[in-house]
Amino acid sequence: MRPILFCRDLAAVIFVTAIAVAALTRVRPAEAAPGGAVPAAADAAAANAAFLPPPASAALGEPVRLTLRPYTVHAMAPDPDATVPLLGADGRPLGPLLGPRQFCELADAGGGVIGTATFRLAGEGWTQRVSCAPWFPRLQRRIPVSVSRLGRSVFARIDWPFGLGARDFRLVPGHTAAATGFATGTVLYADSLRGRILADGTRLDGWLVVGDLRSDLAAGELALFAGRDDQVLFTTAPGEYRVEVRPVRDAAAAAAIAARYTLPLR
């Protein structure tokens, strides 16, 4: 039995090493395309070159069958005729101009995607630049602050075109998921998704990270991030309603996968 145990241990070591090496080639934020075009999720050639190997069965937990549902994030389009700039905590403009209602919606949601970047609420300034009272009565606001404070919101810019999920994880199409019964940060493997091609040419390797929370998530459901509503990168195949996922039990492999696909912002 000793040679068999040795082979299993050696296979596990090789698998974790391969994952750790691949983690060094992380998905880089896409560069803004000329003319304001929506960028791809990542450079497809680089992503495919870092295509991760399948896991060893011993590194996985028991399979769970979930209902697969893609979801997208809303990308707000800058208004060229708008006059309200987004300001950072230092009072400097961050780039896009918005209309008053757009500004209030962004502040009320805590941030969002505009053009090719993500903007996150970073507090409030001294000056109320927008009155949000016409659009956000007291009982309809998500963030429990006064209307005047909502109009003083300042933001932080993150150069990532797909938005942020739970705990400031970056949303990565085809890899970020929300799933019932799994804690944020859990790494899953879905063999049936391995080899699927996204609209930008990126080939999926089946690795998923629970890096988002969805208020509309039903029991037994897996919501897979499919990109922006103006650039949907993943759609379900005909008849594809169920997917089998297995949680990764190997701590080293799970940490490497989480760093590879959903690197948290610090």
Give 10's pLDDT tier (boundaries 50, 70, 90).
very low
CB count within 10 Å of CB 240 equals 12
Enter the tokens of residue 236. Answer: 């379900």
pLDDT digits (tens, 9 = 90+) for 207-255: 999 999 988 898 999 999 999 998 899 988 777 889 999 999 988 888 8
pTM, two decimal places: 0.74
Chain-centroid distance of CA 152 in Å reads 27
Give 81's pLDDT tier (boundaries 50, 70, 90).
confident
pLDDT digits (tens, 9 = 90+) for 158-205: 988 999 898 888 899 999 999 989 999 999 999 999 999 999 888 899
CA distances from 60 to 183, 196, 211 (A): 16, 21, 19
pLDDT digits (tens, 9 = 90+) for 82-110: 889 999 999 999 988 999 989 988 988 88
Main-chain phi, psi angles of 41, to 5 degrees: -60, -40
What value, to the nearest 5°, has the Cα angle with vertex 32 and ends 80 and 123?
Answer: 65
| pLDDT above 70 (res 143) | no
pLDDT for res 45: 53
pLDDT for res 94: 92
Percent of the chain clearing pLDDT 90 (strictly above): 33
Enter the tokens of residue 117. Answer: 């970047």
pLDDT for res 189: 95
| pLDDT above 90 (res 19) | no
**Helix (H), strand (E) at residue 148:** helix 147-150
- Rg value, the chain, Cα: 21
| 156 contact partners, CB below 8 Å, separation of at least 6 | 88, 89, 119, 120, 122
CB count within 10 Å of CB 16 equals 19
Please name the residue ranges forming H helices in the chain: 2-23, 44-49, 100-109, 147-150, 251-262
Chain-centroid distance of CA 103 in Å reads 22
Main-chain phi, psi angles of 62, to 5 degrees: -70, 145
CA atoms of 209 and 193, how far apart (whole Å): 13
